[in-house]
Amino acid sequence: MNLDDAVAWRKGLADDGKRLVLTNGCFDLIHAGHTRYLAEARELGDMLVVALNDDDSVRALKGEGRPLNNQDDRAEVMAALRMVDGVVVFSGDRATSVIEALKPDVYAKGGDYTVDSLNPEERSSLEECGAQIEILSLVPGRSTSSTVRKMRDADTDSRKLRIGVLASGSGSNMQAIQDAIEAGELNAEIVMILSDVEDAKVHQRAKDAGLPCRYVDPGPFKTKLGEAAQKEIRDRLLAAGVDLICLAGFMRMVKPPLLDSFEGRIINIHPSLLPDFKGLAAWKQALEAGVPEAGCTVHFVDSGMDTGAIIDRERVSVLPNDTAESLHARIQEKEHILYPRAIRSLIPQLLGN
Ligand code: GAR
């Protein structure tokens, strides 16, 4: 229905003393997670309206390649569900216009949000119209992205590992991965590169290699990603069907929801022989400590800083005349061998073949 019709209908509901529940989302490929969620939302009142993101806003949220179904088809499927009483398509990245027009009694949202992480504009328009906000838990393992992944997994033998890269700097490790792919040494493809630094050299390298690369605003912090950035990165990498996230000189900590959504599928390269010299400029730390040997490590990412399980390492001797720069340069040469090798070793477990 269009918004004007929905407003007139809603007025009739209010006159009859009925409570309106509103929720919003992309609902690209309907699955049991959606239907259970919608049934629960409908129980919170007498009627349920779904505000559906239009195609441009789905693309902006989930990345190129989404939606899989256009907005008319998605609206038709949604309207056919027995627990849905009305569907309104909206544009832009927030449903404020629909909230303001329909003034729902209850607003329901999926459980990867908290009341605090709701978009502030949406939240203040909900508060203004006195809507009760209800966060409903999501059904684990049911999502459009996991459905897409299962369909791809049905064809694992011929399938390439889909890599997403996060990089903050020059991107020489991203380049080393891409070079190994082009040389036929790694059965993989880099499907998405995201950077928290707008003018990082990795953007140019990606462009030269014909790979998709985007800047993601990291938010207000220096060493971690803001909540919106975590979510945007997670959504883009899920939408791109990424099997493995490679941190390649990515200088921020990775936290939930990104960490949870890709549990056991995020790896990092670090310029030291871990567990020694975690943190920044590890090669300088090694030089200052006077150790005879430095190196580099590829490890799984967990919630600590450079603490996850080690996958592989390469050693580099520290020479008497080494400066921080000369040592880092030799470590980087080894990194470019190590990273593709470590990724290759993970392919059987990641693709299940
Ligand atoms: C690499 O040496 C990598 O090990 C390091 O940043 C450099 C990035 O180079 N990463 C860390 O220190 C992470 N803690 P690149 O942008 O040319 O790949």
* For residues 58-75, average pLDDT: 88
- pLDDT, residue 157, reads 55
Considering only residues 353 and 211, tell me which one the structure prediction assigns the higher pLDDT: 211
CA of 321 to the centre of ligand 1 (A): 22
Catalytic residue list contains 270: yes
Reduced 3-state DSSP string for the chain = CCHHHHHHHHHHHHHCCCCEEEEEECCCCCCHHHHHHHHHHHCCCCEEEEEEECHHHHHHHHCCCCCCCCHHHHHHHHHCCCCCCEEEEECCCCCHHHHHHHCCCEEEEECCCCCCCCCHHHHHHHHHCCCEEEEECCCCCCCHHHHHHHHHHCCCCCCCEEEEEEECCCCHHHHHHHHHHHCCCCCEEEEEEEECCCCCHHHHHHHHHCCCEEECCCCCCCCECCHHHHHHHHHHHHHCCCCEEEECCCCCECCCCHHHHCCCCEEEEECCCCCCCCCCCHHHHHHHHCCCEEEEEEEECCCCCCCCCEEEEEEEECCCCCCHHHHHHHHHHHHHHHHHHHHHHHHHHHHCC
Q: Does residue 92 surpass a pLDDT of 90?
A: no
CA of 4 to the centre of ligand 1 (A): 54
Q: What percent of the chain has pLDDT over 90?
A: 80
- pTM, rounded to two decimals: 0.64
pLDDT, the chain, mean: 92
CA of 309 to the centre of ligand 1 (A): 18
- pLDDT, residue 17, reads 93
Q: Which of 213, 267, 269, 284 to mutate to test the pocket of ligand 1 (most atoms within 8 A of CB)?
A: 269
Q: Which atom of ligand 1 is least distant from the CA of 296?
A: 4
Mind listing the pLDDT tens digit for each residue in 122-157?
A: 889 999 999 999 998 877 778 777 777 677 666 555
CA of 26 to the centre of ligand 1 (A): 36
Q: Does residue 42 surpass a pLDDT of 90?
A: yes
Domains of the chain: 3-140 (3.40.50.620), 156-351 (3.40.50.170)
- pLDDT, residue 145, reads 73
Q: Does residue 73 surpass a pLDDT of 90?
A: yes
- Residue 199's pLDDT band (cuts 50, 70, 90): very high
- pLDDT, residue 158, reads 66
- Residue 190's pLDDT band (cuts 50, 70, 90): very high
Q: Which atom of ligand 1 is least distant from the CA of 331?
A: 2
Which of 348, 350, 7, 343 has its CA nearest to residue 176?
343
* For residues 91-113, average pLDDT: 88
Q: Which atom of ligand 1 is least distant from the CA of 171?
A: 16
Q: Does residue 336 surpass a pLDDT of 70?
A: yes
* For residues 32-45, average pLDDT: 95
Point out the catalytic residue in the list 270, 299, 328, 336: 270
- Residue 267's pLDDT band (cuts 50, 70, 90): very high
Binding-site residues, ligand 1, Cβ < 6 A: 167, 169-173, 248-249, 269-271, 282, 332, 335
Q: Does residue 111 surpass a pLDDT of 90?
A: no
Nearest CA to ligand 1 atom 9: 249
Q: Which of 245, 267, 335, 337 to mutate to test the pocket of ligand 1 (most atoms within 8 A of CB)?
A: 335
Q: What percent of the chain has pLDDT over 70?
A: 96
Nearest CA to ligand 1 atom 5: 249
Q: Which atom of ligand 1 is least distant from the CA of 251?
A: 13
